[in-house]
Structure 1
Amino acid sequence: METESGRQPRGEMQIRTIAMPADTNPNGDIFGGWVLSQMDIAGGLAAAHRAHGRVATVGIEAMTFIRPVSVGDVICCYGHIERVGTTSISVAIEVWKIRGFQEREERLLVTEGRFTYVAIDEAGKKRAIG
C-alpha cells in the first residue's frame, strides 16, 4: 500500500472504521469532531492497554487537521505511547485514510495529535501505573 511521500504510520493500528453519510457537515465532508472522537477512542485503547486498566482522557494538545475525510473513506487510527508518568500516559495519534480499493490503494495522513490519559481505579480516582 502506498503512502504519501513514503512516510509510514507511527505506532500500532488501534481502530479502523469507515466514514458514513450521517457524520457529514453541510459541505459533505466528515465532521472534525467525529474524527476527533475516533482518535480519542484509539488513544484510550492504547493507554488502557499500557496502564493495564481504566483510563480517562485529561487533555488534547497539538491537534492538526491536514486534509478532509469524505464519505466512504476508511480511516485507520494509529497510537504510539510517547510518555508514561506516575499516573498519566501521553499517546501520539495519527489518522490515515484509505481512498478507494483499486489495485493501487492510497493511504493519506488526515490528522495527528497528542492525547493525555490518566489511569483510574474502579472508583474513578487516579491510580499509579504499574
Structure 2
Amino acid sequence: MSERTDESLLEPNGELTLRTLAMPADANPAGDIFGGWVMAQMDIAAGIASSERAKGRTVTAAMKEMIFRHPVKVGDTLCIYTRVIQVGRTSMTLAVECWVRRQYSQQRQKVTEAVFVMVALDDEGKPRPVL
C-alpha cells in the first residue's frame, strides 16, 4: 500500500475544540494572519480541552515546536483540534492541530501543530492532581 502524500486526503486528529474566523485586524498588510494570533487560538483550545479533562482551572506550562506549513488568510475559518495524549499527576499533554477551511471553498489545509503541556491548579494557584 502506498503512502498518501496528498494533503487534501488527510483528516484532522482529535476533537474540534475551537472554530473562529480570521479577521483583518489579525493580519499583516499582505493579508496573512499573524503567527502569534494562530498560536493564541491554539493555546485557548488547549485550555478548553485541558480544563474539561481536569474538571477545573489549568494553565499552559509548555508548548513544543510549531512549524507553519501554510499561511492563514483573512476570511479563512480556523479550526483547532485537540487530543489528550498523556495524563500525569498534575499535568497533561495535548496534541493540538490547526486547520483552515479556505474562504468560499471546501478546501481544508493543515496549517500547523504543536504539543502543549497543561497543569491543573487549585483555587490558590498551586498544582493539583488531575481528576
TM-score, with structure 2 as normaliser: 0.92
| Percentage identity across paired residues of the two chains | 49
Q: In structure 2, the residue corresponding to 1:57 is in which secondary structure?
A: strand
How far the C-alpha of 1:27 sits from its partner, in A, is 2.5
Equivalence for 2:26: 23
Q: How does 1:22-101 map to 2 (within 5 A)?
A: 22-101=25-104
Q: Secondary structure at the match of 1:63?
A: coil
List 4+ stretches of structure 1 deviating above 4 A: none
Equivalent position SS for 2:92: strand
Cα displacement (A) at 1:10 = 0.4
Aligned-residue offset at 1:28: 2.0
Gaps of 5+ in 2: 1-5
Cα distance per residue 1:50-102 (max 9 Å; x no partner): 11110000100021211110000001000011110000011110010001334
Across the aligned residues of Structure 1 and Structure 2, the Cα RMSD in angstroms comes to 1.2
For residues 93-116 of structure 1, the C-alpha deviation after alignment (integer angstroms, 9 at most, x for no partner) is 0010001334xx111001100011
State the distance in 2 between where 1:100 and 1:56 align. Answer: 32
Q: Which residue of 2 aligns with 1:112?
A: 113
Q: Distance in 1 between matches of 2:8 and 2:26?
A: 29
1:126 counterpart = 2:121: no
- Higher strand proportion: 1
Q: SS of 2:74's equivalent?
A: coil
Residue pair 2:8, 2:107 contacting (<8 A) in 1 also? no
Q: Unaligned regions of 5+ residues in structure 1, if any?
A: none
Q: How far 1:12 moved relative to its partner?
A: 0.3
> Whole-Å Cα distance in 2 between the matches of residues 107 and 25 of structure 1?
22
| Count of equivalent residues | 126
